[in-house]
Amino acid sequence: MTLQDIETIAVIGAGTMGQGIAQLCAQSGFTTILYDINATVLEKAETTTMASLAKLADKGKISSQEQEEILDRITFTKDVLQLRAEVVIEAVVERLDVKHSILNEVAQQNKPSTILASNTSSLPITRIAAKVQGPERVVGLHFFNPATIMKLVEVISGAATAPEVTQLMKELALRLGKTPVIAQDAPGFIVNRVARHFYVESLKLLEENVASHESIDRLLQASGFKMGPFQLMDLIGVDTNFSVTSAMFEAFHQDPKFRPSRWQQQKVDAGHHGRKTGRGFYEYPTQK
Ligand code: NAI
């Protein structure tokens, strides 16, 4: 398969990342299918996409005709049978069993050449591929949040990934206007491995009562970071961030430097998942 053969991209999971990835694909001219099991999430994804495109039109970055065409290119669906595409990008919750199950379901109804890309932040691509039909076409395509804006995409090659699949995904990332970096398969790949300490140490400071989360954020912002760790966790999703830390803690054989925070776990248990639930470390009353 070459880049020219890719007409349709299916995105699985319409949450924080899936919505942005689908919008990006449609903005880049691909017929896009966005699927989720949760109707409320799908509705929210559609509203977010419409609002985001309207903003781009208001700023003069796209014409009103383009705004309509981009939206027309996206099908928002709860019907798994509609997921027929040359490339499938999964952005479901960070759980291996869920990723295996949905990727196999989609593999069965697509051609053996369909590429199965995962947006996982921390789960090994090799382990995802091992239980999916055709592991050579399973690859990591790790976008950053917000996917429409952040330039970096890590393209991760698992032990079984065919080199031409990795190469094609690099070309696709370029076609989506991104800066791809190829990484070999390692827990957390490159960025999340380095960034883990930003979150883990900040949570430790909070637990040790060294400073409040607001102070830590203000301080790190003043030192040059665009966002503080707690603002970022709220943007990413406190639950997703916690799952990523937990997966890396296990993958590194419980290395204490990746130990997940009890404080963060409590927020997850309470449903305080950040912007997407209206409350995380901060409150977002209008985004409920
Ligand atoms: P999210 O919690 O916002 O969205 C996940 C979505 O998956 C939910 O809408 C849920 O309904 C859906 N889902 C669950 N099971 C499903 C199934 N069987 N079929 C279809 N949909 C299903 O999560 P988020 O943050 O978008 O993360 C998704 C993936 O992207 C995870 O693997 C995460 O590690 C990764 N990621 C997250 C980033 C972030 O900043 N949030 C950044 C880069 C990667």
Q: Is the CB of 247 under 6 A from ligand 1?
A: no
22 Cβ inside 6 Å of ligand 1: no
Q: Give 173-178's long-range contacts (Cβ < 8 A, gap of 24+).
A: 173/141, 175/3, 175/28, 176/24, 176/25, 176/28, 177/24, 177/28, 177/151, 178/143, 178/151, 178/152, 178/153
Q: How many angstroms does the Cα of residue 18 sit away from the middle of ligand 1?
A: 7
pLDDT at residue 276, as a whole number: 93
- Give per-10-residue mean pLDDT for the chain (288 aa): 98 98 98 98 98 97 97 98 97 97 96 97 96 97 97 98 98 98 94 96 97 98 97 97 96 95 96 97 80
Q: Whose CA is nearest to atom 36 of ligand 1?
A: 121
Indicate if ligand 1 lies below 6 Å from the C-beta of 92. Answer: yes
Note the pLDDT of residue 288.
Answer: 44
Decide: 246 in ligand 1 pocket, CB within 6 A. no
Q: Is the C-beta atom of 237 inside 6 A of ligand 1?
A: yes
Q: What is the pLDDT of residue 285?
A: 87
Q: Which three-class secondary structure string do you get for the chain?
A: CCHHHCCEEEEECCCHHHHHHHHHHHHCCCEEEEECCCHHHHHHHHHHHHHHHHHHHHCCCCCHHHHHHHHHHEEEECCHHHCCCCEEEECCCCCHHHHHHHHHHHHHCCCCCCEEEECCCCCCHHHHHHCCCCHHHEEEEEECCCCCCCCEEEEEECCCCCHHHHHHHHHHHHHCCCEEEEEECCCCCCHHHHHHHHHHHHHHHHHCCCCCHHHHHHHHHHCCCCCCHHHHHHHHCHHHHHHHHHHHHHHCCCCHHHCCCHHHHHHHHCCCCEHHHCECCCECHHHC
Phi, psi of 15 (to 5 degrees): -80, -150
Q: Whose CA is nearest to atom 44 of ligand 1?
A: 121
- Provide the whole-model pTM: 0.94
What domains sit in the chain, N to C, each tagged with a CATH number?
A: 3-184 (3.40.50.720), 193-277 (1.10.1040.50)
Ligand 1: nearest atom to the Cα of 145: 40
Q: Which atom of ligand 1 is nearest to the CA of 120?
A: 32
Q: Among 93, 97, 98, which residue has the most ligand 1 atoms within 8 Å of its CB, making it the best to mutate?
A: 93
Tell me which residues are annotated as active site. Answer: 121, 142, 154, 192
